[in-house]
């Protein structure tokens, strides 16, 4: 039974934390592990959505959550927090992003700051669990897409536009044909319209 460390105060994370850390096999030992995680956290803050192995994603997620919660608690005028951000973010312009974009974004939220979604496995080759790690409120389309009949969904908007374009081009073609040859080529054009429309419907 150990006494809790009272010299530092931390705010609670809104994600599940394993009792023990994962070692993330590497030849340089603990230092190499931290280096690996630094790269991942930097990538996450930079791109807001990354795909990687599940174990590394879960470890990096905890560190990213801690970094953001420290930034929210202390702000950018606190020297130790600034040091920590400087250590974890390898690209220094991301420190500005952390304090000026992510902190206002997550200040009032009650959810975790990141999402971890397990990605489909490879069908062939070595089996490794893959995962997608993303910041909440990122500008990309949602990965967990249950409402597929929503009109405003990016895929549906694009499909609708494509359909519209195709129909328009066909109508134009027919109109041109009518002007040129009259009723001789009507049968061919009607066939042409029906055949390519099948994939758009499905």
Partner 1 sequence: MALAIRRSTSEVFGAAKWFIRRDCRALSTLPEKAVEVPVEKKRDRPVVSRIRANARNPNLALRHVYPEFLPDPNPKWRNSLREKLERTDMLNRRKQIDIPEFYVGSILAVTVADPHAQGKTNRFVGICIERKGAGLRAEFTLRNVVDHQGVEVRYDLYDPTVHSIQVLRLEKRLDDKLLYLRDALPEYSTFPFDMDPEILPDGTPVPVNPVQVKLKPRPWLERWERQELQGVSNIEEHLKEKDRVRRELRKEPWEKYDLMKQYRKTIPIEDQNDIWAEVNHQLKQLQLTRKKVSRKRTFGVPKTQLG
Partner 2 sequence: MFKSLVSKLNPVQLSCGFHTTACMNEVRLLSRLRVVDNSEIGKRAMAEGKPPKVICVYNKKHVGYIGDRVLVAIKGQKKKGILVGMKQKQSVKVPKFDSNNVVLIDDNGTPLGNRIHVPIPTILRTILKEKTHSKGADYTKLLAIATRFV
- As a whole number of Å, the CA-based R_g of the chain is 26
- Token readout for 24 is 């993330």
- Least distance to partner 1, CB of residue 193, Å: 28
Contact residues for partner 1, defined by CB under 8 A: 1-13, 17, 19, 21, 30-31, 34, 59, 62-63, 66-67, 69-70, 72-73, 83-84, 87-88, 100-101, 104-105, 107-108, 110, 137, 139-141, 152-154, 157-158
Partner that binds at residue 115, options partner 1, partner 2, none, CB closer than 5 to 8 Å by kind? none
Residue with tokens 């190499």: 32
The CA-based angle 125-126-127, given to 5 degrees, is 115
Establish if 179 lies at the interface with partner 2 (CB under 8 A).
Answer: no
Partner that binds at residue 27, options partner 1, partner 2, none, CB closer than 5 to 8 Å by kind? partner 2
* Burial annotation 163-195 (CB, 10 A radius, 16+ → b, else e): eeeeeeeeeeebeebeeeeeeeeeeeeeeeeee
- Least distance to partner 2, CB of residue 28, Å: 8
- Least distance to partner 2, CB of residue 39, Å: 20
- Token readout for 52 is 């990687």
Nearer to partner 1, 30 or 196 (CB): 30
Establish if 2 lies at the interface with partner 2 (CB under 8 A).
Answer: no
Q: Which residues, other chains included, contact 122 with Cβ-Cβ below 8 Å and sequence gap of 6+?
A: 128, 130
Give the residues lining the site for partner 2 (CB under 8 A). Answer: 27-29
């Amino acid at each position: 039974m150990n006494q809790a460390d009272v010299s530092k105060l931390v705010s609670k994370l809104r994600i599940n934390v394993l009792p023990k850390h994962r070692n993330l096999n590497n030849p340089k030992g603990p230092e190499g592990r931290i280096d690996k995680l630094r790269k991942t956290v930097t990538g996450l803050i930079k791109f807001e959505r990354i795909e990687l192995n599940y174990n590394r994603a879960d470890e990096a997620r905890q560190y990213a959550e801690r970094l953001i919660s420290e930034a929210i608690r202390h702000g950018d005028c606190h020297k130790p927090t600034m040091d920590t951000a400087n250590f974890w973010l390898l690209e220094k312009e991301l420190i500005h992003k952390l304090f000026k974009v992510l902190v206002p974004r997550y200040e009032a939220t009650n959810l975790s700051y990141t999402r971890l979604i397990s990605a489909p496995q490879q069908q062939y080759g070595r089996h490794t669990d893959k995962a997608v790690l993303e910041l909440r409120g990122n500008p990309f389309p949602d990965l967990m897409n249950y409402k597929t009949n929503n009109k405003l969904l990016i895929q549906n908007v694009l499909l609708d536009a494509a359909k519209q374009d195709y129909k328009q081009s066909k109508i134009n073609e027919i109109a041109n044909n009518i002007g040129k040859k009259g009723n001789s080529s009507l049968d061919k054009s009607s066939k042409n319209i029906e055949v390519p429309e099948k994939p758009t419907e499905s």
